[in-house]
Amino acid sequence: MKKFLIGATLAVSMALVPQVQGQIWGTLSNFDAHNNTRDTVDNLELDFFGEITPEDVIGFYHGWGTPPRLNPFPPGTFPGLPGGLEVTWFDRINPIVYCQTKHFGLRIKPEVQPPGVQAYWTKIKKVKQIPVPWQFWQVTESVVTDIITLSSTFDQGSVIISREFATLPITVPLDFLNWNLEAPWMPVRGDPVTLDPGDSILLDIEVNPNDSAVLVRYTVAVAKDPQTIITRFTNEATLYWSALQQPEITGTLSNFDVHNNDDEPYDNLELDLFGEIDTADIWDWYDGSNSWGNPPRIANFPPGTFPDQPGGVEVTWIDRINPIKHCETRHFGLKINPKVYRLSVQAYWTQIIKLNQIPVPWQFWRVAGNTVRDIIRLSNTYPKPVRINRQWAWTADGSAALVRYTVAPLNSKFHAPQDIVTRFTNEAVLDESGAWIPLDSLTWDLEADWQPVPGDPVDLNPGDSAIFDVPPYSGIIEKVPTDIPSAYALVQNEPNPFGTMTRISYELPAEGWVSIEIYTVSGERIKSLVAEHKKAGSYTVSWNGLDDKGIKVPTGVYFYRFQAGSYSTTKKMMLIR
């Protein structure tokens, strides 16, 4: 069973709720997806056709495969169809097995009304391993040691590497660290050298207090084809000198070019880092010239995911719309916590394989006079008709209209009309200050006085729409005035300490711009919770322990800073995983 949970909210200004005059101010789409492919899947792909960009997706449910990959595609990517936006959730380490259900969600700008939406289960297929002898740094007194290790998992035999090194009085940012960087490069005596799987090679580089960065670059070729360079690396260790003139490594940057020397295109590059490393140890990624597939998907994997190997972190770059073709070279890079040391690293070219198409007759809202209109549209790319069966209701206070419906494919050897494959719950909020249902709580099992839609069930052919005008609310609800706070205030988060979610309340005596940001103990800003204009009143915002990139932050102490007008204050909270 799949549940699709969709909500839209309307901004209105009125004392009485039941009649509607206003504009939609938010569209929320949550859905549970059930894997009925009789296979294991590690991707869910949702394609929106029409005028939609990544900026139109303003939020997502934090669950399996998040953060989702948002990738625009041009007209003609799907034959005879306009361009649009591909949204992909994927997690190769924790795939969705047959009959398992996972939860997904998006919040989309209300003015976006794509003419069609399609969905697929897909899976990642490994194609070819890439040689990535990875490099780490060690420092003792005035010597920085460069250590390059070829993973014992590399399955194409020995590699040949040829190195150069340099020191600089300045550091080079990640996005400018590339093979063509101008520096006083010096060849390494005795190179090229051969590395067998599992072997390491060391290079000692003398430094002095005038040096802020140490650089090593090297080419990599498989020994059986030494003339073909497959990868080339440009790595940097940034240095800090203490009062005692002792160097300390403060950053490790690894940038690398990968050349596709195969006849087929690839739409994934997977990098597996084995050992004592966490997602929080990936500090940044390359996003400069000739980058591809950003932002990368970063996820932990447990020991045994790869036979006889420890756990670690998987970093995956993906772009199905713009695959890397034969003879193309793309640039990748990571900035890693310098305390992470001597990992084993492997890399693969991978491809996405489409499996079953999922019936997702998408829902939109319109305001027609004093009526809330629900529109359900089946994409013309879905290969068969579907049967939908709707119900409608109002929330108890009359502030939101609800429509939910089940979906069953017709003319299928696997499904009869009574076999429900997807189900949706949709919401139109008429009063922003009312008791409308938020993204994380809008579910199929929502308690309401559900009423059947007359004439249902109805059948939709590909490209068809079903329209339903929600009957007006039968009661009269008066808005209760809210007291205006007398002063600015930031309340201690609750609960504290917390494990997965905490709430932060604040008060505004006057209208104005509000900002709430979360910082680490070292002062690094990791999350913007609020950054918008607010009316006077009392508010609560939640934090789920993820940073702005959708990555879980580790256990520790964090600070949240509240700014409104000329008022500013900071409080401390504790996250315990």
Assess whether 186 and 205 both reside in one domain. Answer: yes
Nearest-angstrom CA–CA distance, 35 and 85: 23
Assess whether 331 and 371 both reside in one domain. Answer: no
- Residue 273 located in a structural domain: yes
Residue 531 pLDDT more than 70?
A: yes
- Residue 475 located in a structural domain: no
Out of 64-68, 360-364, 412-416, pick the least confident: 412-416
Strands (E), 410-543: 422-429, 451-452, 458-460, 465-469, 489-490, 502-508, 512-520, 525-534, 537-543
Report the DSSP beta bridge partners of residue 70.
87
Assess whether 280 and 329 both reside in one domain. Answer: yes
- Residue 477 located in a structural domain: no
**CB-hemisphere CA count at 13 Å for 46?**
24
- Residue 430 located in a structural domain: yes
> Which single residue is written with the structure tokens 């989702």?
68
Assess whether 168 and 61 both reside in one domain. Answer: no
How many Cβ atoms sit within 10 Å of the Cβ of residue 308? 8
> Which single residue is written with the structure tokens 């693969």?
348
Q: What is the DSSP letter of 280?
A: G
Question: What DSSP line would sit under 69-117, residue for residue?
Answer: EEEEE-TTSSTT---EEEEEEE-SSS-B-TT-EEEEEEEE-TT---SEE
383-438 pLDDT, tens digit each: 999 999 999 988 877 778 889 998 888 865 544 555 778 888 888 877 776 777 88
Assess whether 363 and 349 both reside in one domain. Answer: no
> How far is residue 74 CA from its own chain's centroid?
21
Question: What would the two tokens of residue 47 be?
Answer: 């394609």
Nearest-angstrom CA–CA distance, 342 and 572: 35
More confident position, 415 or 205: 205
Nearest-angstrom CA–CA distance, 490 and 275: 41
- When pLDDT is cut at 50, 70 and 90, the band that residue 482 belongs to is low
Of 507, 392, 396, the C-alpha closest to 451 is 392
Contact (CB, 8 A) for 180 and 164: no
Contact (CB, 8 A) for 403 and 372: no
Assess whether 112 and 196 both reside in one domain. Answer: no
**Number of domains present in the structure of the chain:** 3
Strands (E), 369-508: 371-377, 386-394, 400-409, 422-429, 451-452, 458-460, 465-469, 489-490, 502-508
Element (H, E) at 282: strand 282-285
Residues of the domain holding 383: 2-125+357-469
Assess whether 156 and 118 both reside in one domain. Answer: no
Distance between start and end Cα atoms, the chain: 31
Q: Pick from 296, 330, 353: which residue ends a domain?
A: 353
Question: What would the two tokens of residue 178 be?
Answer: 């590339």
Name every residue whose Cβ is closer than 8 Å to that of residue 384 and which is 6 or more positions away in sequence: 409, 410, 411, 412, 462
Is the bond preceding residue 472 a cis peptide, omega within 30 degrees? Answer: no
Assess whether 252 and 115 both reside in one domain. Answer: no
How many Cβ atoms sit within 10 Å of the Cβ of residue 83? 17
pLDDT attached to residue 552: 83
Assess whether 242 and 154 both reside in one domain. Answer: yes
Question: What would the two tokens of residue 121 be?
Answer: 């289960």
Assess whether 281 and 134 both reside in one domain. Answer: yes
Question: What would the two tokens of residue 193 be?
Answer: 């050298």
Question: What DSSP line would sit under 163-199, residue for residue?
Answer: EEEEEESS---GGG--TT-----EEPTT-SEEE-TT-
- Residue 263 located in a structural domain: yes
More confident position, 17 or 216: 216
Q: Pick from 401, 435, 469: which residue ends a domain?
A: 469
- Residue 476 located in a structural domain: no
Q: Pick from 410, 434, 469: which residue ends a domain?
A: 469
pLDDT attached to residue 91: 85
101-157 pLDDT, tens digit each: 888 888 888 788 877 899 999 888 888 999 999 999 999 889 999 999 999 999 999
Residue 523 pLDDT more than 50?
A: yes
- Residue 410 located in a structural domain: yes
Assess whether 141 and 25 both reside in one domain. Answer: no
CA angle 46-47-49, nearest 5°? 150
Name every residue whose Cβ is closer than 8 Å to that of residue 182 and which is 6 or more positions away in sequence: none
Of 336, 346, 332, 380, the C-alpha closest to 360 is 380
Assess whether 40 and 110 both reside in one domain. Answer: yes
pLDDT attached to residue 249: 94
- Give the CATH number, domain containing residue 557: 2.60.40.1930
Nearest-angstrom CA–CA distance, 453 and 392: 7
Sign of the torsion formed by the C-alpha atoms of 190, 194, 196 and 200: positive
